[in-house]
Amino acid sequence: MATPTLPAELSDATSDERSLRRFLHGLPGVDQVGVEQRAAGLGTRSIKKGSKLQAIDTAISMVDLTTLEGADTHGKVRALAAKARRPDPERPDTPRVAAVCVYPDLVATAVEALAGTGIGVASVATAFPSGRSSREVKLADVALAVHSGATEVDMVIDRGAFLEGRYGQVFDEIQAVKAACGDAHLKVILETGELATYDNVRRASWLALLAGGDFIKTSTGKVSPAATLPVTHVMLQAVRDWYTTTGELRGVKPAGGIRTTKDAIRYLVAVHEVAGPDWLTPSLFRFGASSLLNDLLLQRRTQLDGHYSGPDYVTVD
Protein backbone atom coordinates (compact mmCIF):
# COMPACT_ATOMS: atom_id res chain seq x y z
CA MET A 1 0.00 0.00 0.00
CA ALA A 2 2.89 2.43 0.50
CA THR A 3 3.42 5.24 -1.98
CA PRO A 4 6.91 6.78 -2.36
CA THR A 5 5.70 10.32 -3.16
CA LEU A 6 4.39 11.03 0.34
CA PRO A 7 6.32 12.62 3.25
CA ALA A 8 7.72 10.01 5.61
CA GLU A 9 5.01 10.38 8.25
CA LEU A 10 2.26 9.91 5.67
CA SER A 11 4.06 7.13 3.83
CA ASP A 12 4.30 5.24 7.11
CA ALA A 13 0.56 5.73 7.59
CA THR A 14 -0.12 3.87 4.35
CA SER A 15 2.34 1.04 4.87
CA ASP A 16 -0.35 -1.47 5.87
CA GLU A 17 -4.01 -1.74 6.88
CA ARG A 18 -3.33 -1.35 10.59
CA SER A 19 -1.23 1.79 10.12
CA LEU A 20 -3.83 3.31 7.83
CA ARG A 21 -6.61 2.64 10.31
CA ARG A 22 -4.54 4.10 13.15
CA PHE A 23 -3.82 7.24 11.13
CA LEU A 24 -7.41 7.81 10.01
CA HIS A 25 -8.87 7.23 13.44
CA GLY A 26 -6.15 9.45 14.94
CA LEU A 27 -7.33 12.48 12.97
CA PRO A 28 -8.90 15.19 15.17
CA GLY A 29 -12.64 14.79 15.56
CA VAL A 30 -14.90 17.31 13.85
CA ASP A 31 -16.77 19.70 16.14
CA GLN A 32 -20.25 19.29 14.67
CA VAL A 33 -21.73 22.35 16.33
CA GLY A 34 -18.69 24.45 15.49
CA VAL A 35 -18.51 23.54 11.80
CA GLU A 36 -22.25 24.02 11.33
CA GLN A 37 -22.22 27.39 13.09
CA ARG A 38 -19.24 28.61 11.06
CA ALA A 39 -20.84 27.45 7.81
CA ALA A 40 -24.06 29.24 8.72
CA GLY A 41 -22.20 32.39 9.73
CA LEU A 42 -20.11 32.59 6.57
CA GLY A 43 -23.26 31.95 4.56
CA THR A 44 -24.69 35.30 5.69
CA ARG A 45 -21.80 37.35 4.29
CA SER A 46 -23.00 40.03 1.86
CA ILE A 47 -21.08 40.94 -1.30
CA LYS A 48 -21.13 44.37 -2.93
CA LYS A 49 -22.23 44.80 -6.53
CA GLY A 50 -18.78 45.03 -8.12
CA SER A 51 -17.53 42.01 -6.21
CA LYS A 52 -20.74 40.12 -6.98
CA LEU A 53 -20.16 40.28 -10.74
CA GLN A 54 -16.62 39.01 -10.20
CA ALA A 55 -17.95 36.20 -8.00
CA ILE A 56 -20.52 35.22 -10.64
CA ASP A 57 -17.87 35.08 -13.37
CA THR A 58 -15.61 33.04 -11.08
CA ALA A 59 -18.44 30.60 -10.34
CA ILE A 60 -19.28 30.21 -14.05
CA SER A 61 -15.65 29.36 -14.78
CA MET A 62 -15.80 26.63 -12.11
CA VAL A 63 -18.89 24.80 -13.36
CA ASP A 64 -18.66 21.20 -14.56
CA LEU A 65 -21.66 21.27 -16.92
CA THR A 66 -23.14 17.83 -16.41
CA THR A 67 -25.59 15.39 -17.93
CA LEU A 68 -25.75 11.95 -16.32
CA GLU A 69 -29.08 10.43 -17.30
CA GLY A 70 -29.97 7.11 -18.85
CA ALA A 71 -31.70 8.99 -21.67
CA ASP A 72 -28.60 11.00 -22.64
CA THR A 73 -28.01 11.18 -26.39
CA HIS A 74 -25.17 12.32 -28.62
CA GLY A 75 -27.30 15.30 -29.61
CA LYS A 76 -27.82 16.31 -25.99
CA VAL A 77 -24.07 16.15 -25.36
CA ARG A 78 -23.37 18.31 -28.42
CA ALA A 79 -25.93 20.86 -27.22
CA LEU A 80 -24.32 20.86 -23.77
CA ALA A 81 -20.90 21.38 -25.37
CA ALA A 82 -22.25 24.33 -27.34
CA LYS A 83 -23.51 25.88 -24.11
CA ALA A 84 -20.16 25.22 -22.46
CA ARG A 85 -18.37 27.08 -25.25
CA ARG A 86 -20.75 30.05 -25.23
CA PRO A 87 -22.86 30.02 -22.06
CA ASP A 88 -24.60 33.26 -23.03
CA PRO A 89 -24.37 33.70 -26.84
CA GLU A 90 -25.46 37.34 -26.62
CA ARG A 91 -22.69 38.13 -24.13
CA PRO A 92 -19.39 36.91 -25.64
CA ASP A 93 -17.49 38.16 -22.58
CA THR A 94 -19.18 35.48 -20.45
CA PRO A 95 -16.56 33.02 -19.14
CA ARG A 96 -16.54 29.46 -20.43
CA VAL A 97 -17.23 26.66 -17.99
CA ALA A 98 -14.46 24.41 -16.67
CA ALA A 99 -15.61 21.09 -18.10
CA VAL A 100 -18.43 19.02 -19.52
CA CYS A 101 -19.15 15.82 -17.58
CA VAL A 102 -20.76 12.77 -19.24
CA TYR A 103 -20.84 8.98 -19.11
CA PRO A 104 -17.83 7.12 -20.60
CA ASP A 105 -19.60 6.04 -23.80
CA LEU A 106 -20.34 9.70 -24.65
CA VAL A 107 -16.85 11.05 -23.99
CA ALA A 108 -15.78 10.85 -27.64
CA THR A 109 -18.77 12.97 -28.67
CA ALA A 110 -17.90 15.61 -26.06
CA VAL A 111 -14.22 15.58 -27.06
CA GLU A 112 -15.11 16.18 -30.70
CA ALA A 113 -17.57 18.97 -29.85
CA LEU A 114 -15.10 20.75 -27.57
CA ALA A 115 -11.94 20.35 -29.66
CA GLY A 116 -9.66 23.37 -29.45
CA THR A 117 -11.64 25.14 -26.71
CA GLY A 118 -9.54 24.25 -23.68
CA ILE A 119 -12.71 23.09 -21.91
CA GLY A 120 -12.15 19.83 -20.06
CA VAL A 121 -14.05 16.62 -20.73
CA ALA A 122 -14.86 14.80 -17.50
CA SER A 123 -16.30 11.32 -17.28
CA VAL A 124 -17.83 9.48 -14.37
CA ALA A 125 -16.54 5.94 -14.01
CA THR A 126 -16.08 2.95 -11.68
CA ALA A 127 -19.70 1.78 -11.91
CA PHE A 128 -21.10 5.23 -11.14
CA PRO A 129 -23.14 6.03 -9.08
CA SER A 130 -23.24 2.96 -6.80
CA GLY A 131 -19.71 1.67 -7.30
CA ARG A 132 -21.09 -1.84 -6.96
CA SER A 133 -18.99 -3.92 -9.33
CA SER A 134 -15.68 -5.74 -9.55
CA ARG A 135 -12.43 -3.82 -9.74
CA GLU A 136 -11.87 -5.22 -13.23
CA VAL A 137 -15.15 -3.72 -14.44
CA LYS A 138 -14.39 -0.41 -12.73
CA LEU A 139 -10.97 -0.15 -14.34
CA ALA A 140 -12.46 -1.05 -17.73
CA ASP A 141 -14.89 1.83 -17.21
CA VAL A 142 -11.95 4.17 -16.57
CA ALA A 143 -10.05 2.83 -19.59
CA LEU A 144 -13.02 3.50 -21.88
CA ALA A 145 -13.24 7.09 -20.66
CA VAL A 146 -9.50 7.79 -20.91
CA HIS A 147 -9.04 6.11 -24.28
CA SER A 148 -11.96 8.15 -25.61
CA GLY A 149 -10.17 11.35 -24.59
CA ALA A 150 -11.42 12.25 -21.12
CA THR A 151 -9.14 14.75 -19.39
CA GLU A 152 -10.79 14.18 -16.00
CA VAL A 153 -12.26 11.09 -14.34
CA ASP A 154 -14.78 11.19 -11.49
CA MET A 155 -14.68 7.88 -9.61
CA VAL A 156 -16.86 6.70 -6.73
CA ILE A 157 -15.40 5.04 -3.67
CA ASP A 158 -16.74 1.75 -2.34
CA ARG A 159 -18.80 3.18 0.50
CA GLY A 160 -19.64 -0.28 1.82
CA ALA A 161 -15.96 -1.12 2.21
CA PHE A 162 -15.27 2.24 3.85
CA LEU A 163 -18.13 1.94 6.33
CA GLU A 164 -16.99 -1.57 7.24
CA GLY A 165 -13.53 -0.20 7.97
CA ARG A 166 -11.81 -1.87 5.01
CA TYR A 167 -9.75 1.25 4.38
CA GLY A 168 -6.90 -0.57 2.65
CA GLN A 169 -9.28 -1.90 0.00
CA VAL A 170 -10.60 1.60 -0.71
CA PHE A 171 -7.06 3.00 -0.76
CA ASP A 172 -5.80 0.35 -3.19
CA GLU A 173 -8.76 0.86 -5.51
CA ILE A 174 -8.24 4.63 -5.67
CA GLN A 175 -4.55 4.06 -6.42
CA ALA A 176 -5.42 1.58 -9.18
CA VAL A 177 -7.87 4.04 -10.73
CA LYS A 178 -5.32 6.85 -10.47
CA ALA A 179 -2.81 4.71 -12.36
CA ALA A 180 -5.42 3.89 -15.01
CA CYS A 181 -6.15 7.61 -15.48
CA GLY A 182 -2.71 8.30 -16.94
CA ASP A 183 -2.55 12.06 -17.52
CA ALA A 184 -6.24 12.59 -16.69
CA HIS A 185 -7.05 14.24 -13.37
CA LEU A 186 -8.84 12.09 -10.81
CA LYS A 187 -11.78 13.34 -8.75
CA VAL A 188 -12.73 10.97 -5.93
CA ILE A 189 -16.44 11.01 -5.06
CA LEU A 190 -17.00 10.28 -1.37
CA GLU A 191 -20.84 10.29 -1.48
CA THR A 192 -20.90 12.15 1.81
CA GLY A 193 -24.66 11.69 2.23
CA GLU A 194 -23.97 8.00 2.91
CA LEU A 195 -21.03 8.52 5.28
CA ALA A 196 -23.30 9.61 8.17
CA THR A 197 -20.79 11.68 10.21
CA TYR A 198 -18.40 14.56 9.72
CA ASP A 199 -15.64 12.40 11.19
CA ASN A 200 -16.21 9.89 8.40
CA VAL A 201 -16.11 12.70 5.84
CA ARG A 202 -12.73 13.81 7.23
CA ARG A 203 -11.39 10.25 7.19
CA ALA A 204 -12.64 9.60 3.65
CA SER A 205 -11.15 12.91 2.49
CA TRP A 206 -7.72 12.05 3.87
CA LEU A 207 -7.95 8.51 2.52
CA ALA A 208 -8.63 9.84 -0.98
CA LEU A 209 -5.80 12.36 -0.74
CA LEU A 210 -3.35 9.75 0.55
CA ALA A 211 -4.23 7.48 -2.38
CA GLY A 212 -3.56 10.20 -4.96
CA GLY A 213 -6.88 11.88 -5.71
CA ASP A 214 -6.41 15.26 -7.40
CA PHE A 215 -9.85 16.39 -6.19
CA ILE A 216 -12.19 15.22 -3.48
CA LYS A 217 -15.85 15.48 -4.47
CA THR A 218 -18.89 15.41 -2.21
CA SER A 219 -21.49 13.52 -4.15
CA THR A 220 -22.79 11.78 -7.23
CA GLY A 221 -25.88 13.97 -7.21
CA LYS A 222 -27.96 10.79 -7.04
CA VAL A 223 -28.14 10.56 -3.22
CA SER A 224 -29.74 12.96 -0.74
CA PRO A 225 -28.31 14.86 1.00
CA ALA A 226 -25.72 15.78 -1.60
CA ALA A 227 -23.41 18.78 -1.14
CA THR A 228 -23.84 20.82 2.03
CA LEU A 229 -21.83 23.76 3.29
CA PRO A 230 -20.70 22.10 6.55
CA VAL A 231 -19.48 18.98 4.69
CA THR A 232 -17.67 21.16 2.18
CA HIS A 233 -16.04 23.03 5.08
CA VAL A 234 -14.66 19.72 6.39
CA MET A 235 -13.31 18.83 2.94
CA LEU A 236 -11.76 22.27 2.47
CA GLN A 237 -10.05 21.87 5.84
CA ALA A 238 -8.65 18.56 4.62
CA VAL A 239 -7.07 19.99 1.45
CA ARG A 240 -5.76 22.97 3.40
CA ASP A 241 -4.13 20.68 5.97
CA TRP A 242 -2.84 18.45 3.17
CA TYR A 243 -1.12 21.46 1.63
CA THR A 244 0.37 22.46 4.98
CA THR A 245 1.78 18.94 5.40
CA THR A 246 2.90 18.16 1.84
CA GLY A 247 3.11 21.43 -0.09
CA GLU A 248 0.73 19.94 -2.69
CA LEU A 249 -2.47 21.68 -3.75
CA ARG A 250 -5.49 19.41 -4.15
CA GLY A 251 -9.03 20.43 -5.12
CA VAL A 252 -12.60 20.17 -3.84
CA LYS A 253 -15.81 19.72 -5.83
CA PRO A 254 -19.23 20.03 -4.18
CA ALA A 255 -21.89 18.46 -6.39
CA GLY A 256 -25.65 18.11 -6.16
CA GLY A 257 -28.22 20.57 -4.87
CA ILE A 258 -26.35 23.80 -5.64
CA ARG A 259 -28.84 25.62 -7.85
CA THR A 260 -28.72 29.37 -7.24
CA THR A 261 -26.19 32.18 -7.48
CA LYS A 262 -26.71 32.85 -3.79
CA ASP A 263 -25.73 29.23 -3.05
CA ALA A 264 -22.64 29.45 -5.25
CA ILE A 265 -21.44 32.65 -3.59
CA ARG A 266 -21.81 31.04 -0.16
CA TYR A 267 -19.50 28.27 -1.33
CA LEU A 268 -16.98 30.75 -2.74
CA VAL A 269 -16.91 32.57 0.60
CA ALA A 270 -16.26 29.23 2.30
CA VAL A 271 -13.40 28.48 -0.08
CA HIS A 272 -11.78 31.86 0.62
CA GLU A 273 -12.20 31.69 4.38
CA VAL A 274 -11.53 28.00 5.07
CA ALA A 275 -8.94 26.92 2.48
CA GLY A 276 -7.72 30.29 1.26
CA PRO A 277 -7.76 32.48 -1.87
CA ASP A 278 -5.36 30.15 -3.70
CA TRP A 279 -8.28 27.74 -4.10
CA LEU A 280 -10.47 30.29 -5.92
CA THR A 281 -9.58 28.85 -9.32
CA PRO A 282 -11.15 26.14 -11.52
CA SER A 283 -8.00 24.07 -11.13
CA LEU A 284 -8.77 23.67 -7.41
CA PHE A 285 -12.50 24.21 -6.98
CA ARG A 286 -15.45 23.09 -9.09
CA PHE A 287 -19.22 23.04 -8.93
CA GLY A 288 -20.90 19.84 -10.10
CA ALA A 289 -24.07 21.39 -11.50
CA SER A 290 -26.07 22.25 -14.59
CA SER A 291 -29.13 24.16 -13.40
CA LEU A 292 -26.76 26.42 -11.41
CA LEU A 293 -25.32 27.80 -14.64
CA ASN A 294 -28.72 29.06 -15.78
CA ASP A 295 -29.19 31.12 -12.63
CA LEU A 296 -25.63 32.44 -12.76
CA LEU A 297 -26.26 33.66 -16.31
CA LEU A 298 -29.53 35.34 -15.34
CA GLN A 299 -27.94 37.04 -12.35
CA ARG A 300 -24.98 38.12 -14.48
CA ARG A 301 -27.35 39.88 -16.86
CA THR A 302 -29.08 41.51 -13.91
CA GLN A 303 -25.77 42.89 -12.66
CA LEU A 304 -24.85 44.25 -16.09
CA ASP A 305 -28.27 45.53 -17.21
CA GLY A 306 -29.65 46.72 -13.91
CA HIS A 307 -32.85 44.69 -14.25
CA TYR A 308 -33.83 41.03 -14.07
CA SER A 309 -33.89 38.99 -17.27
CA GLY A 310 -36.32 36.09 -17.29
CA PRO A 311 -35.41 32.48 -18.14
CA ASP A 312 -36.40 33.03 -21.77
CA TYR A 313 -33.10 34.85 -22.25
CA VAL A 314 -30.90 31.83 -21.57
CA THR A 315 -31.04 28.23 -22.63
CA VAL A 316 -32.61 26.21 -19.82
CA ASP A 317 -31.39 22.59 -19.45
What b/e readout covers 89-112, taking b as 16+ CB neighbours within 10 angstroms?
A: eeeeebbbbbbbbbbbebbbbbbe
CB atoms within 10 A of CB 205: 29
Handedness of CA 174, 176, 178, 181 (dihedral sign): negative
Give SS3 for 223: coil
Sheet of 63-66: strand order equals 251-253, 215-217, 185-189, 152-156, 120-124, 99-102, 63-66, 287-288
C-beta of residue 146 within 8 angstroms of C-beta of residue 178: no
Catalytic residue numbers read: 154, 217, 253
What's at 265, amino acid-wise?
A: I
* Residue 236 CB neighbours (<10 A): 24
Instruction: Give the integer Cα–Cα distance in Å for 81 and 65.
Output: 8
Q: Which of these, 132, 139, 145, 133, lies nearest to 191 by C-alpha position?
A: 132
DSSP state of 317: -
Gap between the Cα atoms of 229 and 56, Å rounded: 18
